[in-house]
Amino acid sequence: MAATIRPQSVRPRRSVLYMPGSNARALEKAKTLAADALILDLEDAVAPDAKAMARTQVCDAIKNGGYGKREMIIRTNGLDTAWGLDDVKAAAKVEPDAILVPKVNSAYDIQQYEAVINDVGASDKVALWAMMETPLGLLNAQQIAATAAEPGARLAGFVMGTNDIAKDTGLRLTADRVPLLYSLEVCVLAARAYGLAIMDGVYNDFKNETGFADVCAQGAELGFDGKTLIHPVQIDPCNAAFSPSKDEVQWARKIIAAFEEPENADKGAIQVEGKMVERLHAEIGKKHVAIADAIAELGGNV
Ligand code: COA
Ligand code: MG
């Protein structure tokens, strides 16, 4: 039986840019950048002495708006730190699109965050995203994703924390990412099983254009919706890599139209331009068309 999942709107999440919540210039500049989503960070990008200032600055940025259609996410510190509880409460009060929480190890962790967000009285629209970045969290990926099927669940997304995975496991961040593949794919599977969005980890060497293009292409091949980014220069190539190509969309429209022909109404498999296509290909095609339409709708507004 399929899992019951939180309804998700079709929303492009090709490029998801982090910025330190303490960096006022970056928060302002982000209003002009073509990222689909922004993560205003209170965790690792912010030094301990700047945590309280960053919390106020980030919450003010969400309240004051000006970010157009970009999806707005606040990443908090963990509830096991001195700042986490205040971060989650403050973030929940200003109701960003999502609150991203770090180092999730278990379903129990998700319940703790949801309880704090609910206590503040945040609207149901505030989603919870989880950083997948600890060995235990990766081993528990299915259990964590499964919380999305609970009544009133907020969990709607996974974000890979590849730097922390390397730190905690000892694996090396090689150019081909072979050592990371198991961690990445187990999370893609868990996310898809329970209807979550999933974004790939960051690429630190932001001046290396070819290396970045390679990992973007690989992330799209692995099934990620998009990639988390650290620098504006990464946005355009990332948007390109995670957008369905013109050819893909054209082909999708052809398959969908072919199955809508009356003579194909009772067929499961047909021939289109010499290729066998099944109804499942029309389903894949509908996803490509929906995401392409959603990207077009974002238009120049992003
Ligand atoms: N978001 C928004 N704007 C950013 C940005 C980001 N992540 N990174 C850089 N910029 C802006 C800079 O403010 C600068 O703008 P300006 O020229 O209009 O003033 C411009 O882009 C060019 O920046 P540049 O000089 O190349 O980089 P930098 O030395 O200022 O910053 C980093 C380099 C890596 C420190 C910075 O990109 C950064 O903080 N990235 C995010 C780190 C993060 O959040 N990590 C946590 C998750 S892994
Ligand atoms: Mg991390």
* Residue 135 DSSP label: H
Whose CA is closest to 67, among 17, 27, 101?
27
CA 201 – ligand 1 centroid, Å: 17
Reported as a pLDDT band with limits 50, 70 and 90, residue 301 is very low
Residues 233 and 88 in one domain: yes
Residues 6+ apart with CB under 8 A from 295: 12, 14, 243
Rounded to whole angstroms, how far apart are CA atoms 240 and 149?
Answer: 32
Residues 176 and 207 in one domain: yes
Name the β-bridge partners of 20. 41
Which pLDDT value is given to residue 7? 60
Domain, as residue range, for 289: 246-297
Nearest CA to ligand 1 atom 28: 231
Residues 256 and 160 in one domain: no
% the chain with pLDDT above 90: 95
Residues 264 and 167 in one domain: no
CA 280 – ligand 2 centroid, Å: 37
Indicate if ligand 1 lies below 6 Å from the C-beta of 18.
Answer: yes
Reported as a pLDDT band with limits 50, 70 and 90, residue 3 is low
Which pLDDT value is given to residue 299? 78
With a cut of 80, say whether residue 73 has pLDDT above it: yes
Whose CA is closest to 130, among 107, 166, 101?
101
Residues 292 and 210 in one domain: no
Residues 6+ apart with CB under 8 A from 275: none
CA 174 – ligand 1 centroid, Å: 24
**Taking phi first (over 0 means left), then psi (-120 to 50 degrees means alpha), and beta for anything else, what does residue 204 get?**
alpha
Q: How many domains does the chain have?
A: 2
Reported as a pLDDT band with limits 50, 70 and 90, residue 10 is confident
Whose CA is closest to 164, among 213, 188, 130, 214?
130
Indicate if ligand 1 lies below 6 Å from the C-beta of 19.
Answer: yes
Which pLDDT value is given to residue 156? 98
Residues 185 and 65 in one domain: yes
Residues 166 and 123 in one domain: yes
pLDDT digits (tens, 9 = 90+) for 124-175: 999 999 999 999 999 999 999 999 999 999 999 999 999 999 999 999 999 9
Nearest CA to ligand 1 atom 12: 26
Q: Identify whether 302 is part of a domain.
A: no
With a cut of 70, say whether residue 13 has pLDDT above it: yes
Indicate if ligand 1 lies below 6 Å from the C-beta of 34.
Answer: no
Q: Identify whether 8 is part of a domain.
A: no
CA 26 – ligand 1 centroid, Å: 6
Q: What is the CATH number of the domain that holds 153?
A: 3.20.20.60
CA 281 – ligand 2 centroid, Å: 37
- pTM listed for this prediction: 0.96
Residues 131 and 214 in one domain: yes
Q: Identify whether 35 is part of a domain.
A: yes
